[in-house]
Amino acid sequence: MVRPMTSEIRRIGDDELPAFIESMSAGFLERPDVAKVAEQVKPFWDLDRTWAAYDEARIVGTFRTWATELTVPGCARLSGAAVTNVTVLPTHRRRGLLSAMVAAEHGAIRERGEAVGLLWASEYPIYGRFGYGPGCRDTILSIETKRTSFHGEAAGRVELAEPDATSRDAIKAVFEAWRVRQPGEIRRRDVGWEFDLGLLESAWEPRWKGFLALHRNDGGDVDGYVRYRAEGKWEKHQPRNILNVDELHALNDEAYQDLWRFLTEIDWVATVKAERRSPSERLPWLLTNARAATSSDPGETIWVRLFDIPRALDARSYEREGSVVLEIVDSEAPGGRTRVHLEAGPSGAQARSTKRSPDLTLDVSALGAAYLGGARLRDAAVARGVDEHRLGALAEATALFRTLDEPWCSTFF
């Protein structure tokens, strides 16, 4: 139990779910049917990971994690805690309640032995102080369908499918096969698929009512899918509809290309728009006019916090050779610092705790940002300061962590 000022931080009981949801909804400025939400989440929320801040008997702050797995460069997977439902009531802000809830669950994460913490930040300035750094980027991709066509021919078959248990299992299998090959992607919760396909109505938002298209290879196996919704738009008696892509995942180049081609060739559609796409998406290169595809609203997706630093550094692969002793400033580490010697190269890596003198001193949030290979360590380190004790060590470590392929997390939570 952690006590900031007069408030108490503790895990909630079953019977406190409605009060937790009530408080959280007020923090998020929402007005859902609280009883309905509580009933719906009860079977799948792990209350061992669900923390509240109390002002006397009243819940005034909320914080929760769920168990996931993160694919890291080289495609090893690390156990992770996905942080969500973080709020403090407007009447209780800036008194240290978030900090106290973070301390409580971070302690529990360490006890469970989870290597990383992950979250989507509502506002950029909140989480750096808690050791999280922005590890993946995203963008909104828009294609003006009338200004381009695709190189080459369609290779497989795209079919519309009714959202049901069979199609759900088919797309889950595609996602599962895909996410273990995509650094930055995480394991999803089973219940999410029910909401994503409109098989269950979420108590938070209207039931999904879109279209599902599956791609099959020559053997008839599903190897890609897209979920999308149409936004009606007519101008001067001409159809200018917008297709909003909720997600598109494919296991190979053919399925990827065929699914995008399918979307852009749908009658009445002038624009195909997809949120939460990777900034290094290959799509423009497949078009006869790459300028028909534009990116907008760049941002970050998951923020990464390393808890077990040697394990995390050991697990990922490295494309270059390097040897560096990192001193990592982490207020949660005994003595506020931890030191790791990383020796890495394309043939393998070893990271172990050390007492050797450091080449670099940097904040744990910078390491989190650079860990998946997307952000440059030297850029990420600027935010909270970096000390280079050996000339060239920062450039060496920056090159060591960077990967050719950009990490990408398409899963919002």
Sort strands 302-306 and 77-88 into parallel, antiparallel or unpaired.
unpaired
Answer yes or no: 44 catalytic.
no
Q: Which of the ranges 107-115, 123-131, 164-172, 376-384 carries the binding residues for ligand COA, by CB under 6 A?
A: 123-131
- Three-state SS sequence of 299-350: EECEEEEECCHHHHHHHCCCCCCEEEEEEEECCCCHHHEEEEEEEEECCEEE
Cβ contact 52:68 at 8 Å: no
From 43, 125, 206, 232, residue interacting with ligand COA (rule: CB under 6 A): 125
d(CA 85, CA 70): 20
Residue closer to ligand COA by CB (options 84, 252) is 84
d(CA 242, CA 252): 26
State in angstroms the smallest separation of the CB of 254 from ligand COA: 38
- HSE of 301, CA atoms in CB hemisphere, 13 A: 24
Residue closer to ligand COA by CB (options 61, 73) is 61
Residue 98 interacts with ligand COA (CB under 6 A): yes or no = yes
**Between 17-27 and 34-41, two packed helices, what is the crossing angle to 10 degrees?**
120
Residue closer to ligand COA by CB (options 81, 309) is 81
Residue closer to ligand COA by CB (options 17, 97) is 97
The single-letter code of the amino acid at 354 is: T
- Per annotation, catalytic residue among 127, 175, 256, 371: 127
Residue 99 interacts with ligand COA (CB under 6 A): yes or no = yes
Residue closer to ligand COA by CB (options 106, 261) is 106
Consecutive H or E run containing 69: strand 58-71
From 18, 74, 96, 284, residue interacting with ligand COA (rule: CB under 6 A): 96
| Residues with Cβ within 8 Å of residue 348, at least 6 apart in sequence | none
Residue 123 interacts with ligand COA (CB under 6 A): yes or no = yes
Number of residues that bind ligand COA (CB under 6 A): 18
Site string for ligand COA, 126-155 (x = CB under 6 A): x--x--------------------------
| Neighbouring-strand partners of residue 55 | 58
Residue 93 interacts with ligand COA (CB under 6 A): yes or no = yes
Residue 86 interacts with ligand COA (CB under 6 A): yes or no = yes
Residue closer to ligand COA by CB (options 85, 271) is 85
Q: How far is CA 175 from the centre of its chain?
A: 14
Q: Which of the ranges 40-48, 71-79, 124-132, 284-292 carries the binding residues for ligand COA, by CB under 6 A?
A: 124-132
> In terms of DSSP H, where are the helices of 50-136?
97-112
From 3, 30, 110, 122, residue interacting with ligand COA (rule: CB under 6 A): 122
Answer yes or no: 401 catalytic.
no
d(CA 148, CA 151): 10
- Phi, psi for 121 (deg, rounded to 5): -90, 130
138 φ/ψ sector (left φ>0, alpha ψ -120 to 50, else beta): beta
Cβ contact 100:2 at 8 Å: yes
State in angstroms the smallest separation of the CB of 314 from ligand COA: 29
- Phi, psi for 103 (deg, rounded to 5): -60, -40
- Per annotation, catalytic residue among 28, 150, 195, 413: 413
From 27, 133, 183, 184, residue interacting with ligand COA (rule: CB under 6 A): 27
Sort strands 211-216 and 222-231 into parallel, antiparallel or unpaired.
antiparallel
d(CA 274, CA 391): 44
Residue closer to ligand COA by CB (options 37, 377) is 37
The single-letter code of the amino acid at 184 is: G
Residue 88 interacts with ligand COA (CB under 6 A): yes or no = yes
Residue 58 interacts with ligand COA (CB under 6 A): yes or no = no
> In terms of DSSP H, where are the helices of 197-340?
253-264, 283-286, 309-315
Q: Which of the ranges 95-103, 152-160, 241-249, 347-355 carries the binding residues for ligand COA, by CB under 6 A?
A: 95-103
Residue 31 interacts with ligand COA (CB under 6 A): yes or no = no
Q: Residue numbers of the site for ligand COA (CB under 6 A)?
A: 27-28, 86-88, 93-99, 121-123, 125-126, 129
Catalytically annotated residues: 127, 413
